[in-house]
DNA sequence: GGGAGGTCGTTAGCAAGAGTAATGACTCTT
DNA sequence: AAGAGTCATTACTCTTGCTAACGACCTCCC
């Protein structure tokens, strides 16, 4: 259409923020609907983060997930009730609590990952290799957008 | 690391589905928290879709947003109460209702778009041109993932 | 030492938004 | 014209986010 602009040289179009916002919101809603698991997306995300980062306090976890501490309290309570996360007292500060993924939690994590990837993986498989490569490049950028 | 694979030739890594799922969920949660508007993300998305697609019935809108009709009823009710959407009877089927964005709705849409893009646009501006281009390529793919 | 004030986690209560089930009005098929 | 199906809505529940407030604990400073 426009010979002066191509994909690699144009700057951010004014619509990019809006398009990204809407497509992310929609895909998120779609994904949530596909979770055929006994763990919610929020719980799974918290559990996965805890596994990746090792031991964390509830506040650290809340900050990482960009959620307020009371919300994380509820998420952690659910995970703890399911024996997927264990809490132990902090070594020196008795106000704090240290969370860690239990062995059953780790096992369930792998199992759930495989199950819950099914829907998305099926759809990813329908894409061309170039499209998947484009998503691979986008994922770390999306991660960075939600930090900062 | 692996000289046999590079970004363009590798197939979908097993982790892509999971990474994408988590990063999309997190960014979605982050975006939702940034909406300083009187319209929720859901309402805005429905209004935007309605503007883009022209007139639609509530069921069509619900299907497009991958939401059940009762949920869309509530969203539409809120939009109608704010005079952003108008409903009129279907020409031939009196069970159905036809929805359309009003002129104030259209105006508000543009205004809100500019306002609500602020957070994301700021973060997009911090990226390199290559990273933005990567997101530009990813957006239509994300869109396609949430359809089908 | 011993308060004053800050921090961590939790509880309580509220709001948004999604779901299922059921209903009322209407259309279509036979 | 009557039974079956469809569209939108209502009623109710659930999840998950938030803010406000609190109790337990730490730390700083006199």
DSSP A21-82: HHHHHHHHHHHHHH--SSS-HHHHHHHHHHHHH-SB-HHHHHHHTT--HHHHHHHHHHHHHT
Residue of A nearest to B112 (CA): A18
What per-residue confidence (pLDDT) applies to A26? 79
Q: Residue B31: name the closest of A140, A28, A39, A35 by CA.
A: A28
Q: What is the pLDDT of residue A28?
A: 80
Phi, then psi, of B67 in degrees rounded to 5: -135, 155
Average pLDDT, rounded, for chain B: 83
Residue-wise pLDDT for B74-83, tens only, equals 999 999 999 9
How many residues would you count in chain A? Answer: 148
Q: How many CB pairs under 8 A join A and B?
A: 183
Could you say which of A12, A24, A30 has the minimum Cβ distance to residue B27? Answer: A24
* pLDDT for the residue numbered A74: 96
CA A50 to chain centre: 11
Q: Closest Cα partner for B99 from B63, B147, B46? A: B46
| Rounded-to-integer distance, Cα A79 and Cα A95, Å | 20
Which residues of chain B neighbour A143 with C-beta distances below 8 Å?
A: 23, 26
* Tokens 């991660």 found at: A143
The phi, psi pair for A108, rounded to 5°, reads -60, -35
CA B87 to C1' D2, in angstroms, rounded, equals: 32
Q: State whether the Cα torsion B140-B35-B110-B132 is positive or negative.
A: negative
- What nucleotide is nearest B33 when CA is compared to C1'? D17
B24 in Cβ contact with A28 (< 8 Å): yes
In whole angstroms, give the CA distance from residue B44 to residue A120: 25
pLDDT tens-digit readout, A44-98: 889 999 999 999 999 999 999 999 999 999 999 999 999 999 999 999 999 999 9
Q: Name the residue of chain A whose CA is nearest to B30's CA.
A: A146
Question: CA-to-C1' distance for B68 and C28, Å?
Answer: 24
Q: What's the pTM value of the predicted model, to 2 decimals? A: 0.75
**Nearest alpha carbon to residue B28 among B45, B11, B52:** B45
Residues within 7 Å (Cβ) of strand D:
A 40-43, 66-68, 70-71, 74-75, 78, 92-95; B 29, 33, 57-60, 69-70, 73-74, 76-77, 87, 93, 95-97
At a CB cut-off of 8 Å and minimum separation 6, what does B68 contact?
B62
Structure tokens at B89: 């009877």
Cβ neighbours, 10 Å, residue B86: 16
User: CA A115, C1' D4: Å apart?
Assistant: 39
DSSP class of residue A100? Answer: E
Contacts of A75 in chain B (CB under 8 A): none
Mean pLDDT of A132-139: 93
Strand C contacts in B 14-73 (CB under 7 A): 40-43, 66-68, 70-71
């Amino acid at each position: 259409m426009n010979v002066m602009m191509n994909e690699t040289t144009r700057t951010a179009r004014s619509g990019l923020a809006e398009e990204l916002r809407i497509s992310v919101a929609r895909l998120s809603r779609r994904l949530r609907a596909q979770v055929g698991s006994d763990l919610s997306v929020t719980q799974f995300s918290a559990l996965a983060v805890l596994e990746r980062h090792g031991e964390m306090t509830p506040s650290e976890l809340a900050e990482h997930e960009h959620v307020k501490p009371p919300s994380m309290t509820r998420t952690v309570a659910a995970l703890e009730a399911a024996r997927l996360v264990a809490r132990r007292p902090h070594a020196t500060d008795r106000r704090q609590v240290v969370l860690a993924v239990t062995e059953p939690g780790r096992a369930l994590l792998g199992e759930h990952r495989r199950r819950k990837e099914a829907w998305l993986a099926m759809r990813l498989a329908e894409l061309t290799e170039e499209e998947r490569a484009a998503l691979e490049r986008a994922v770390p950028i999306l991660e960075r957008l939600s930090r900062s």
